[in-house]
Structure 1
């Protein structure tokens, strides 16, 4: 059963991003991919256990080394987090979020073209 009200913490999001990229991974593989000098293996393990308890990842315990896999989709998780951010930070204004994002980061010409195509498709 997947969690419909996804609220991963920043640390949990980093782990989910590794799992989305790799598909399946052990705690050690995730920890190495995170490459965090300030965080130990046991911290990664604990966060992955919490993600499992939340129903956001599944754990295959058939082997000695447990294999984890994300149960929540990247697209759905991103949409829920963006919607939450629009509601909580930008008073429900998607336009303010987009303007803030584009104003703070230099978008490449390709990214701007992609954004224009997307905006045209919404008309």
Structure 2
């Protein structure tokens, strides 16, 4: 899998959340948080087609782009790389560092506890 750049990842997150979208729709969402020109977004999305990250439907005047790679696959690949490079392959060190930041909500902690219980019982 080709590792997406930050800009490509931002576009993928939009496509995962909104589904197939036009460049204009994606650019409008990006512009809610930062200034980005339409042509910049278009160029990035064209590169993403070449990389195989997204597909473009050209059957109508307005081209529609959809993610070809799933969110979980990207997250898993990026997490594996982070765990290997920053934490020497230690999942526990990564988790301890993440939880030690204090930004974890009560609901997230409950989900983590449920996952731990599931893993302890051998149900993966």
Both structures adopt the same fold (TM-score exceeding 0.5): yes
Q: Deviations over 1:48-75 (max 9, x none)?
A: 1111101010000111111000010111
Query: How many equivalent residue pairs?
Result: 119
Please report the RMSD computed on the Cα atoms of aligned residues, expressed in angstroms.
1.2
Structure 1 runs, 4 residues or longer, greater than 3 Å off: none
Q: Which ranges of structure 2 fall in alignment gaps of 5 or more residues? A: none
Q: Which ranges of structure 1 fall in alignment gaps of 5 or more residues? A: none
Structure 2 residue 60 is matched with structure 1 residue 63: yes
RCO higher in structure (CA 8 A, sep ≥6):
1
**Equivalent in the alignment of 1:100:** 97
TM-score normalised by L of structure 1: 0.91
In structure 2, relative to structure 1, the CA distance for the partners of 1:37 and 1:109 (3 Å cut) is closer
Structure 2 residue 21 is matched with structure 1 residue 25: yes
